[in-house]
Structure 1
Amino acid sequence: MTSDARREFDRPDLIDPAPDGTPKVQRLETFRLRGFFKTLGPGLITGASDDDPSGIGTYSQAGAQLGYGIGWTMLLTFPLMVAIQEISGRVGRVTGHGIAGNVCRHYSGGLLAVIVMLLFTANTINIAADLAAMADATKLLIGGPALFYVVAFGTISVLAQIFFDYKRYVSVLKWLTLCLFAYVGALAAAKVDWGQAAAGVLIPHLAWSSTYLTTIVAILGTTISPYLFFWQASQEAEEERIDPHKKPLIKTPQDAPQEFQRIRADTIIGMAFSNLIALAIIITAAATLHASGKTDIETSAQAAEALRPIAGPFAEWIFALGIVGTGLLAIPVLAGSAAYAVGEGRRWPVGLARKPKQAVAFYSVLALSAVLGIALNFAPINPISALYWSAVINGVLAVPVMVLLMLIARRRDAMHRFVVRGPLHWLGWLSTAAMGVSVVAMAVGYLL
């Protein structure tokens, strides 16, 4: 090989020559964080929204009550979360429809109606609890009436979803995920016994007590939630619909390898981010609240307030600011997933990329869910009790939704050649079984 030929062979930026024989040069883009961040989408937002204010309350309570020994649950739930969320993303990308859109095409309308009703109810209660937590955190930081903040945050979230340009709005949601790093800052302010923390993550510690089992059920119900399945599947379908270069993979099978690789990377990064932040919250609570005997934490705002005398005002502030940021991320996902589920089930025009007049019914459901969430904060309902019942509904709903998702993923009339097989298939069923066991345990604990 000549030296000139060798130079051409060694240059990957040279591609097939032009008709005149001159090599055409294709610029190779170097890795840039901003460019990489742009490639992330539904998986990242889904994972980050999992750490909503109510989830932060659950993780804080777990760390405060049980210390470092509960950290292993984050290692356990990670592959289960990745599997079920990746399957959700694949279903949306392959078929061009979300979960509700596929259920209405392949299963009975009555079954879909029950599932959608339960999802809408659970999401609305969750929105109410998240708004209450955000309002309490804001009141903790700057004072003022909590109900005013409830209305303000709820209104901002709804108006942004309805009137913001879709691409700009998704970009805002992506940047909001960075607010979760507040909990890394809170962790830095805590005096952590890293040996015990590592043992808590790597060595499962089981205690046969109602408190311990209830906490494990709460963590599973918080990390594997139905609204996350609906959101990721619908967002994959939405991204395909608005991109003129994309079609459902059943129509463009040649795009499948690249798209599946993107969905997997996006999902793994999103779920890893979610679990690492959840673990940071658990360790922070264990190192501060549990270590000082403060185990009666029930909400994320209480956790932030309790940190002040132990870890200082810095930890309290960043913990509280994180609650507000995660709420602004989670409420649109909760309201949006409910609207997608109802709209797809009714075969309405759906999608945040549509103008309000193009999808009136879709946006009406979205606004209704948020407005009812705001209204619940004016009702004489204990927010802790509401959150508990939201977790119960989510836990009960997750199992049939996951079963349906797994069945759809294996239907050739839905997925064609892209039915889910192999380790991903079995991990999906393992995740479904884990949720089923958690629901049974929750029911037994409630009856006893």
Structure 2
Amino acid sequence: MRKFLNNLGPGILVSAAFIGPGTVTICSIAGVTFGYSLLWALLISIFACIILQEMSARLGLISGKGLSECIRDEMKNPVVRIFTLFLIFSAIVIGNAAYEAGNISGAVLGLESVFFSVNFEIAGIKLNIWSLVIGGFAFTLLYLGSYKKLEKIFIGLVLLMSLSFIVTAVLTRPVISEVLSGFVPGSLDSGILTIIALVGTTVVPYNLFLHASLVSEKWQGAGNLGIVRKELVFSLILGGLVSMAIVVCAAASQIDKIENAADLALGLEPLFGNSATLFISIGLLAAGVTSSITAPLAAAYVVKGCLGWKGGMQSKKFKAVWMIIIFLGILFSSLGIKPVEIIQFAQIANGLVLPIIAIFLFWIVNQGSLLGVHRNSLTQNLVGLLVIALSVFLGIKSIYSVVQNL
């Protein structure tokens, strides 16, 4: 058991990355709007996440490189390589800057639910002090922390977040038979955009890049493949339970509309007392803090791989990337824009970008020149194609639904 706990790390960071304020918001919307009926979509999302993240982790372990670095090395046609890396660079770096604003805003909502709002004006621009505090905390951890230190901090934060949301779900005393009925798939049409958002908030494209890089730093050699897989499955199932707990909490609340994730705490308080508000707020704060660290970290790894930079987390170029992402996140979060629409749009956009990144990953893990005997087996290819087909279907369905509403 102690050996297993010592090997926790990359999978925990992946869970911490996808259980951010976006997940809390989307799962809250799903619970408030559809009750328990979309729990099946979360279950499928976790399965798809495990399949894709295992490919990413295996790639990082066997090759000793990150996903963007592998794509850069394996694509021989210079025109195709430049176009592909530009597409990845744009989607992940720009997307993570937007995510960072939502992550910091979510952590701020958690603090404001427990304490109070603090704002000040500079040159007519209203700024939120808590945004600066959260951003500064993320900056400090990344600037001073080594990977091993970050692992320990994240394990603590993820356990705190997990306990907070799961305890709150238990406090709501859901009817077990009704919860179980939510794992039976129903009609897609009524909640298709919410389903896509649930997939997009669980199977996060930037996590595919982050995971390969983190695994390549923590372990070396095929002999560690077993522990890598066990750590991954444990971490993602834990993350899935947290997401489901949030849906259960939201379904038990008596609110009709979610403006932000903190509304969930307010909706539960009349039914279950101050303890529910406190647990939800702590969970939201932990979710925002963990995601506000992983988003800029993932962006830095992507840029490093795309541009072929050498050196690790302490290199100046690497630090410059995540510093820019944090700065943009603090700036946009401080402006006080309502986060729920941005977060929901970002999760849908994530669901649309996912098929493209998944196809790149699928192609690279089938390269015998890179992975040798550890390239995808026939079974892994069949399951991987099923996951990609699902993500493509949901992406097309999303575009069709949006066009219909124009």
Q: TM-score over 0.5 for the alignment?
A: yes
1:204 pairs, out of 168, 180, 185, with 185
1:406 alignment partner, one of 351, 358, 362: 362
Give the deviation of 1:175 after TM superposition: 1.6
Q: Deviations over 1:403-428 (max 9, x none)?
A: 01000000122222321113222222
Assess, with a 3 A threshold, how the Cα gap between structure 1 residues 350 and 329 changes in structure 2: closer, same or farther. Answer: farther
CA distance in 2, matches of 1:382, 1:144: 15
Give CA deviations for 1:344-391 in whole Å, capped at 9, x if unaligned: 111112433xx3xxx111110011011101111244744233223422
Counterpart contact for 2:141–2:150, Cα < 8 Å: yes
In 2, the alpha carbon distance for the partners of 1:408 and 1:195 equals 43
In structure 2, C-alpha distance between the alignment counterparts of 1:175 and 1:382, rounded to whole Å: 29
Q: What is residue 125 of structure 1 aligned with on the other side?
A: 98
Q: Name 1:105's counterpart in structure 2.
A: 73
**Partner residue of 2:272 out of 291, 311, 315:** 311
Which amino acid in the other structure matches residue 237 of structure 2?
A
Q: CA deviation at 1:193?
A: 1.1
Q: By how many angstroms is 1:207 displaced?
A: 5.2
Determine what percentage of the aligned residue pairs are the same residue. 21
Residue equivalent to 1:189: 171
Residues matched between the structures, number: 390
RMSD: 1.6
8 A Cα contact 2:55 2:365, kept in partner: yes
2:320 corresponds, among 354, 364, 371, to 364
Aligned partner of 1:90 in structure 2 is 58
Stretches (4+) displaced over 6 A: none
1:237 maps to: 216
Q: Equivalent residue for 1:26?
A: none
Residues 1:148 and 2:113 aligned together:
no
User: Which residue of 2 is the match for residue 19 of structure 1?
Assistant: none
Structure 2 CA distance for aligned equivalents of residues 119 and 392 of structure 1: 15
Spell out, residue by residue over 1:107-163, the C-alpha distance to the aligned partner (whole angstroms, 9 max, x if none).
212211121111111111111011112112211211131611111101110121111
Asked if the contact 2:25/2:340 (under 8 Å) is kept, the reply is no
Q: Is residue 87–residue 428 contact of structure 1 (8 Å, CA) maintained in 2? A: no
Which residue does the alignment assign to 1:162? Answer: 143
Residue aligned with 1:68, SS: coil
Structure 1 residue aligned with 2:228? 263
Q: In structure 2, which of residues 340, 344, 348 is the aligned counterpart of residue 388 of structure 1?
A: 344
Q: Pick from 13, 34, 52 the counterpart of residue 20 of structure 2.
A: 52
Partner letter of residue 390 of structure 2?
A
Corresponding position: 1:418 with 2:379: no
Match of 1:225 among 178, 182, 204: 204
* In structure 2, distance between residues paired with 1:282 and 1:402: 27
CA contact (8 A) 1:227 1:338 kept: yes
CA distance in 2, matches of 1:435, 1:372: 29
- Residue 215 of structure 1 aligns with an amino acid whose one-letter code is T
Higher mean C-alpha displacement, 101-110 vs 401-410? 101-110
- Unaligned runs of 5+ residues in structure 1 are 1-30, 241-245, 250-255
The alpha carbon displacement at 1:395 in A equals 2.3
Displacement of 1:282: 0.8
Unaligned runs of 5+ in 2: 76-80, 120-127
| Cα deviation 1:166-216 (Å, max 9, x = unaligned) | 312221112211022101110121131111111212x2222532xx11111
C-alpha contact (below 8 Å) 2:27/2:198 kept by paired residues: yes
| Alignment match, 2:263 | 302
